[in-house]
Amino acid sequence: MKFSNRTIRVFAVVAGGAALGACGGGANDARTGGSANVFSASPVAVTGSSAGLVVANVFDAINNAVVGSDLGAGVVTAAVIEGDRTGPGLFGIVRQQLALADRAARVLGSGGQLTGVQREWNRTDFQSNGEPDPCPNTANSRPDAIRLIWEDTDGDNRFSTGDALQMIFDGCRNDSIPIQLDGAVAIDMLTVNGDPGVTPPWDVAGRVSFSGFRASDAVTVLEIDGNLNYREDSSDGVNVSAHITGGTLKMTTTIGNSANNQQMSGFEIRLATQNGNGSYELTASGTVATTGMGGSVDLSTLQTFTGTDFRSGAPDTGEMQINGANGSTLNVKAIGSGAVQMRPDADADGTPDSIIDTTWTDLNNLL
């Protein structure tokens, strides 16, 4: 679901064309958490005058959590492959890193540094085995610009159930894009069945921890902190079901001198996509806080949101209830053809104060 256009496209070309987006702040372990984009937000009242801004910020946060600011949408050499092929957003990130780990295990084999069940590769290991430079930046030749730390707990030389992976970046920049990645992401795999994203049927589940992620280009900086549990599966390689839940996920997007902090807590998002035509179904619940709307609101999906183009289309159907301070509520309903209807109830008397008809495009322009 492409709601917001205020996102940064983040890619790193690694391991023979697998695309990788990763998070962190230079720490050795992303599980320790980070301190970026920390802010507090009290519940904000929803009124007729604030309804549009609230809806815009809520769906922008959902969009960034699911589409991941186009993080992981995919790059194979110079060709951009949209997320319909590799999986949406955060799920695409995870799957691509799994693919990288699996490729590293097969191609790099016994190379790198081995300590017990933990094996570590750096930039030099990729290059010395005939693999493309994962950080093709002429100004930074350091081997530790990228490190892959893999705990192969069962010793099967495949990234599988019970394994753990960390990707750590320190000034990893691709001159051809150009975007720089810094930091780490940790993935603890709960289950891996089949070959995720490649040969169906498959399913994968695990826990992902982000710590001070920073991806930057000349204009935009994206930062992510927090953790989530995820599950993704496909029986036919066409229809993909994804499910994420989390305690707290914090995101900050800075464009020029303007920054917007977003925080999702106690959230649950379910997404089903059909890779063949881009159609999707989406539900979301939890608490969203942003500096853009000046506080937090609770949300729940009353009717599943559906659309025909996950990467660029707003939902055609679906309904959400947003609860703000002092018992205020806002009903949001997609009514097709890019239109949306909002019914705010600021005085909590159970009767809408007004009916506001607008479009997703106009809401997006409020951001």
Helix or strand or coil: residue 299?
Answer: strand
Domain membership of residue 173 (yes or no) is: yes
* Tokens matching residue 23: 């998070």
- Residue 289 bridge partners (DSSP): 263, 296
Alpha carbon separation from 253 to 7, 197, 215 (Å, rounded): 7, 29, 10
Residue 76: pLDDT over 80 = no
Question: Does residue 56 or residue 218 have the better pLDDT?
Answer: 56
Domain membership of residue 311 (yes or no) is: no
Query: What is the pLDDT at residue 363?
Result: 92
Domain membership of residue 37 (yes or no) is: yes
The answer to whether the CB of 307 falls within 8 A of the CB of 313 is yes
Strand 199-216, strand 179-195: pairing: antiparallel
- Report, as an integer, the average pLDDT of 158-165: 83
* Tokens matching residue 298: 């609770």
- The residue to which tokens 């230079």 are assigned: 26
DSSP 90: H
Averaged confidence pLDDT in the chain? 76
256: Cα separation from own chain's centroid: 22
Helix or strand or coil: residue 166?
Answer: strand
Counting beta carbons within 10 angstroms of the beta carbon of residue 332, is it exposed (0 to 12), middle (13 to 18) or buried (19 or more)? buried
Cα separation, 104 vs 204, in Å, equals 19
Domain membership of residue 29 (yes or no) is: yes
Cα separation, 132 vs 350, in Å, equals 61
Query: What is the pLDDT at residue 111?
Result: 64
Query: What is the pLDDT at residue 202?
Result: 83
* Confidence class for position 72, pLDDT limits 50, 70, 90: very low
User: Domain range spanning residue 19?
Assistant: 13-261
Overall domain count for the chain: 1
Domain membership of residue 297 (yes or no) is: no
Alpha carbon separation from 119 to 21, 76, 151, 163, 199 (Å, rounded): 21, 26, 6, 11, 26
Domain membership of residue 357 (yes or no) is: no
pLDDT in tens, 282-337: 999 999 999 989 999 999 999 999 998 766 678 999 999 999 999 999 999 999 99
Domain membership of residue 359 (yes or no) is: no
The answer to whether the CB of 75 falls within 8 A of the CB of 81 is yes
Question: Does residue 21 or residue 259 have the better pLDDT?
Answer: 259
